[in-house]
């Protein structure tokens, strides 16, 4: 080790920041760090690894189907650069084989292993070129989980990274719990030593900065270890890690996974790790679809990404994996662009741009809708049906269409009988199919 850790007899658990019997503290130092948004930024996926740990196990066929859809979503843009798999289960290994046989450039198949040399046999047998390696870096993990000193942990991590390089595999070192780690006492020495290994081997060593408990803070002027700007800036400028070798992996425990992930881009990391719809343990990971939208806002383009596939993936998760997406989930929930306030609905009927910030119909295949209740009127019902079923030209309903009358009568009867809630999308689909368009039977059931 050229760069030594600051070894300690007792773990530094930052109890002044994380007292445990209180909510964690945010400590300010008011140091303003410069933004360094890399020219090339991208997203990596961990739906099959971190995401799958929190939901019903996927079959091989389901994983391959989702992989195909991720490829369709990326559409050759390279924005969804990689996806990672477990290798310990036969069905996962079969999925990896089948996905790799597809020969897609994006997303590239990678893996995840424990910090055990024998696990490299699996990686080599599968022909995977990059693997994640668990390299926990906080004293909570080093002392209390691994039962090691910092020096012992460092030696173990460097040994396994060197073994990866010797096997021709790119190691992606997962700095677990970095937001509670001693940054200059352990994180920076470890990162420097990893960069030294990379230079000696004329190869890449990647670092995934893992906000394991979602306690990172995105705004400037915050003390380490919680400061996302300081963590990413420090890896680049104190450890010499190039942007393309820095990846952020966040969790949403404090409602800040998306701003934290975007901040990691802004302060110098090229890659953000995410899952479809934010699936993941506890409250979940960073939603992949959210980061595509963040990318679009930062870069002014989504290149060739086919965002309509996000809606297809949402339907697949609900119908095939029995995963219920909360209705108000941005971009994919059944209610995300449904206007419910009466005055807003009136504005939407006049011009959808009044209450829709982008063309959700064109970009996501999800046109804006109005919620139907006892105040909607025939015009509101007509708008809902036209919008939901994408009726165009002569097929488009007007408020004078007599087929709308029994629908309006059914709605009025619901409220006369004491109903107080809006008519659901599912109910509107069902009654529209009954009275308007039997040819659409079953359309949109997953959104019900």
Average pLDDT, the chain: 92
Residues with Cβ within 8 Å of residue 135, at least 6 apart in sequence:
115, 157, 160, 161, 173, 174, 175, 176, 190
Q: What is the spatial distance between Cα 429 and Cα 384, in angstroms, rounded to a whole number?
A: 10
Do the domain assignments include residue 11? no
**Both 356 and 283 in a single domain?**
no
Confidence of residue 441 (pLDDT cuts 50, 70, 90): very low
pLDDT at 438 over 80: no
**Rounded (10°) angle between helices 377-388 and 404-416:** 120
- The two beta strands, 338-339 and 271-274, are unpaired
Q: What is the spatial distance between Cα 359 and Cα 352, in angstroms, rounded to a whole number?
A: 9
pLDDT at 446 over 50: no
Do the domain assignments include residue 330? no
Q: State the DSSP string of 269-330.
A: --EEEEBGGG--STT-B-BHHHHHHHHHHHHS--TT--THHHHHHHHHHHHHS-----TT-T
Report whether 264 contacts 235 (CB < 8 A): no
What share of the chain in percent tops pLDDT 90?
77
Q: What is the pLDDT at residue 257?
A: 98
Q: Determine the structural domain holding residue 93 and report its residue range.
A: 42-320
Confidence of residue 445 (pLDDT cuts 50, 70, 90): very low
Provide the 3-class DSSP secondary structure of residue 444. Answer: coil
For residue 51, give the nearest of 246, 252, 226 by alpha carbon.
252
Q: What is the pLDDT at residue 250?
A: 98
Q: What is the spatial distance between Cα 427 and Cα 337, in angstroms, rounded to a whole number?
A: 17
Confidence of residue 56 (pLDDT cuts 50, 70, 90): confident
**Both 273 and 421 in a single domain?**
no
**Both 128 and 237 in a single domain?**
yes
**What are the pLDDT digits (tens) for 239-277?**
999 999 999 999 999 999 999 999 999 999 999 999 999
Overall number of domains in the chain: 2
**What are the pLDDT digits (tens) for 335-358?**
898 876 656 666 766 778 888 999
**What are the pLDDT digits (tens) for 284-318?**
999 999 999 999 999 999 999 999 999 999 999 99
Report whether 160 contacts 171 (CB < 8 A): yes
Q: What is the pLDDT at residue 379?
A: 81
**Both 162 and 55 in a single domain?**
yes
Mean pLDDT of 161-185: 96
Report whether 393 contacts 386 (CB < 8 A): no
Instruction: Say which residue the tokens 């105040």 belong to.
Output: 375
Element (H, E) at 81: strand 80-85
Mean pLDDT of 99-111: 98
| Ramachandran quadrant class, 15 (left: phi over 0; alpha: psi -120 to 50; beta: rest) | alpha
**Both 247 and 360 in a single domain?**
no
**Both 294 and 359 in a single domain?**
no
| Residue where a domain terminates, one of 320, 353, 385 | 320
């Amino acid at each position: 080790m050229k760069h030594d850790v600051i070894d300690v007899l007792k773990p530094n658990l930052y109890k002044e920041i994380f007292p445990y019997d209180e909510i964690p503290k945010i400590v300010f130092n008011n140091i303003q760090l410069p933004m360094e948004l890399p020219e090339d930024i991208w997203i990596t996926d961990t739906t099959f690894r971190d995401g799958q740990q929190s939901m019903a196990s996927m079959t091989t066929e389901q994983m391959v189907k989702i992989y195909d859809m991720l490829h369709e979503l990326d559409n050759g843009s390279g924005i969804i650069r990689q996806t990672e798999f477990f290798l310990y289960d036969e069905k996962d290994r079969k999925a990896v084989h089948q996905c790799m046989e597809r020969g897609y450039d994006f997303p590239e198949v990678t893996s995840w292993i424990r910090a055990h040399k024998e696990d490299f046999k699996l990686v080599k047998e599968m022909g995977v070129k990059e693997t994640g390696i668990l390299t926990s870096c906080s004293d909570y993990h080093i002392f209390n989980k691994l039962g090691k000193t910092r020096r012992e942990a460092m030696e173990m991590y460097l040994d396994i990274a060197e073994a990866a390089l010797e096997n021709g595999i790119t190691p992606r070192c997962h700095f677990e719990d970095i937001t509670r780690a001693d940054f200059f006492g352990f994180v920076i020495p470890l990162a420097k030593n990893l960069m030294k290994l990379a230079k000696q081997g004329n190869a890449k060593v990647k670092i995934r900065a893992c906000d394991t408990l979602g306690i990172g803070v995105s705004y400037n002027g915050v003390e380490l270890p919680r400061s996302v700007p300081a963590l990413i800036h420090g890896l680049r400028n104190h450890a010499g890690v190039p942007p393309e070798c820095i990846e952020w992996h966040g969790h949403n425990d404090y409602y800040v996974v998306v701003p934290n992930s975007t901040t990691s881009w802004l302060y110098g990391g090229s890659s953000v790790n995410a899952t479809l719809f934010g699936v993941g343990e506890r409250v979940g990971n960073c939603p992949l679809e959210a980061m595509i939208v963040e990318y679009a806002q930062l870069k002014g383009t989504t290149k060739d990404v086919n965002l309509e596939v996000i809606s297809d993936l949402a339907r697949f998760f609900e119908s095939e994996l029995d995963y219920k997406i909360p209705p108000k989930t941005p971009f994919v929930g059944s209610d995300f662009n449904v206007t419910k306030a009466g005055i807003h609905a009136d504005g939407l009927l006049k011009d959808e741009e009044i209450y829709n910030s982008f063309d959700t119909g064109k970009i996501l295949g999800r046109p804006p809708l109005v919620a139907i209740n006892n105040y909607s009127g025939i015009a509101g019902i007509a708008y809902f049906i036209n919008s939901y079923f994408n009726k165009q030209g002569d097929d488009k309903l007007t408020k004078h269409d007599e087929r709308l009358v029994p629908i309006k009568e059914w709605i009025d009867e619901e409220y006369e009988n004491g109903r107080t809630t809006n008519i659901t999308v599912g109910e509107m689909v069902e009654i529209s199919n009954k009275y308007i368009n039997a040819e659409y039977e079953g359309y949109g059931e997953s959104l019900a």
